[in-house]
Amino acid sequence: MQAEIISIGTELLLGHIVNTNAAFLSQKLAEIGIDVYYQTTVGDNPQRLIESIKRSVRRSDIIITSGGLGPTVDDVTIEAIAALLNRRLVLNKTVLKGVKAYFKLRKVKFPIETMRQAYIPEGVKWIRNNVGTAPGLLVEYMGKTIVCLPGPPREIESMFVKDVIPYLKKLGKSDWVIRSRTIKTTGLAESQVDGRVRDLLKLKPPTTVGIYAKLRHVELKIMTKAKNEKAAAKAISGIEKKIRGRLKGYIFGYNEETLEETVAKMLIKKRLTIAVAESCTGGLLSHRLTNISGASKYFLMGIVAYSNEIKEKLLFVPEKLLNRHGAVSGPVALEMAKGIRSLGCTDIGIGITGIAGPTGGTKKKPVGLVYLALVTDNKQIVKELRFTGSREEIKFQASQVALDLIRKNV
């Protein structure tokens, strides 16, 4: 079974946005064992769109389009499908009701132009959009399946997982299972991870391992193609065991898991509470710690103390210490951690101070210098770190190391 993806939107052809939908759809199709042979991007041009769909129908079994379903005149996918099928567009009252409800919920007057999104080619199945207003289409045409989805990633992701995957599975258009497992690490550079698993990176299909580096985060992805779930699981777990042995201590999660999720789970399980005093990260660590549902179980408070005054007044950092060592120093980070811990009456206190840049660095204290402290009942840890990158990258890396410090010490 072969699929292809058509991404629709002049903004893609102009390079204004990066096509993340094609990667998402390809990945999801691979997971249910459907091969993608082509990804095509066309503009908001009915003629070239119809021509592309026709070509795809000739060479593939499943065609997934994304984009062009919005309420504006630029959006031409529905018209293209109607022209292809030679069907007229009819008002679908259920869709219209849904679109109206969408605006009512948001207390926004129903924009009359949105009416356009309730017109569907006659007799064609549609897919409910729970996140936006544009419905999707499920078209059976010349023995092939055409699925039309909207462009916004959160809409496409929700609809594809909820409705399209079950539909394709039911069609039986999937003979193989492709399964993957991502192992996420932090604390080692890409080359260090590479060095430890070099032999595995050279594996040939059906089971392969890929390495992907992000900021203070390196992932290994095991991928396998097998006849059934059991065989796939066996192939993956064999490799996974090897990787775990070689990267022990650096692995913080699997698949979609984030570092903050792992930390949150640990804190909840051990019934520990945390409070955070941030300077250079400016609230990012609190933000990440509160991105997890149920954060109030462990996260009690955060203070972003940008000025020395606040560090003294609220976090009880002694003025003398600030004068002697400067705000960006190990002793100040430690006092911040102690101060916030006693203020919040929590088990763990975190203090972060540093220079996020791009300005404010000196020869002795350059941009990227960060001090990180963790204080618990029986531990006091202070770390000096040096990061490079933009202001936001430095903030992110500092928050990443802080989360990892929590992970390793609770």
Residues 197-216 that bind its own copies (CB under 8 A): 198, 201-202, 210-213
**Site for its own copies contains 54 (CB under 8 A):** no
**Site for its own copies contains 290 (CB under 8 A):** yes
Least distance to its own copies, CB of residue 93, Å: 20
Closer to its own copies by Cβ: residue 163 or 219 = 219
Can you tell me which residue has the tokens 């069907």?
87
Closer to its own copies by Cβ: residue 28 or 341 = 28
Q: 3-class SS at 51? A: helix
Core vs surface per residue 359-393: b (16+ CB within 10 A) or e? eeeeeeeebbbbbbbbbbeeeeebeebebebebeb
Helix (H) or strand (E) holding 297: none
**Site for its own copies contains 111 (CB under 8 A):** yes
Least distance to its own copies, CB of residue 13, Å: 5
Least distance to its own copies, CB of residue 163, Å: 18
> How far is residue 95's CA from residue 10's CA, in Å, rounded to a whole number?
27
Residues facing residue 253 across a β-bridge = 184
- State how beta strands 2-8 and 35-42 pair: parallel
**Site for its own copies contains 27 (CB under 8 A):** yes
Backbone angles phi, psi at 233, to 5 degrees: -60, -40
Least distance to its own copies, CB of residue 377, Å: 20
**Site for its own copies contains 13 (CB under 8 A):** yes
Binds its own copies (CB under 8 A): choice among 284, 317, 369, 401: 284
Can you tell me which residue has the tokens 């009915």?
46
**Site for its own copies contains 47 (CB under 8 A):** no
> How far is residue 166's CA from residue 174's CA, in Å, rounded to a whole number?
11
Can you tell me which residue has the tokens 């929700």?
158
Scanning 23-31, 61-69, 141-149, 163-171 for contacts with its own copies by CB under 8 A, the matching segment is: 23-31
* 214, HSE (Cβ side, Cα atoms, 13 Å): 11
Which parts of 332-361 interact with its own copies (CB under 8 A)?
343-344, 356-359
Binds its own copies (CB under 8 A): choice among 94, 191, 323, 380: 191
87 and 124 Cβ atoms separated by less than 8 Å: yes
Closer to its own copies by Cβ: residue 139 or 289 = 289
For residue 290, which of 280, 301, 282 has the smallest C-alpha distance? 301
**Site for its own copies contains 126 (CB under 8 A):** no
**Site for its own copies contains 186 (CB under 8 A):** no
Binds its own copies (CB under 8 A): choice among 1, 25, 32, 350: 25
Core vs surface per residue 99-134: b (16+ CB within 10 A) or e? beebeeeeeeeeeeebebbbbbbeebebbebebbbb
Closer to its own copies by Cβ: residue 40 or 92 = 40
Binds its own copies (CB under 8 A): choice among 272, 310, 321, 381: 310
Least distance to its own copies, CB of residue 252, Å: 19
Binds its own copies (CB under 8 A): choice among 91, 94, 140, 192: 192
196 and 208 Cβ atoms separated by less than 8 Å: no
Binds its own copies (CB under 8 A): choice among 72, 237, 255, 409: 72
**Site for its own copies contains 379 (CB under 8 A):** no
Binds its own copies (CB under 8 A): choice among 100, 125, 128, 221: 221
Closer to its own copies by Cβ: residue 236 or 356 = 356
Instruction: Give the sign of the dihedral formed by CA 390, CA 358, CA 263, CA 404.
Output: positive
**Site for its own copies contains 12 (CB under 8 A):** yes
User: What angle is formed at CA 113 by the lines to CA 112 and CA 118, rounded to 5 degrees?
Assistant: 95
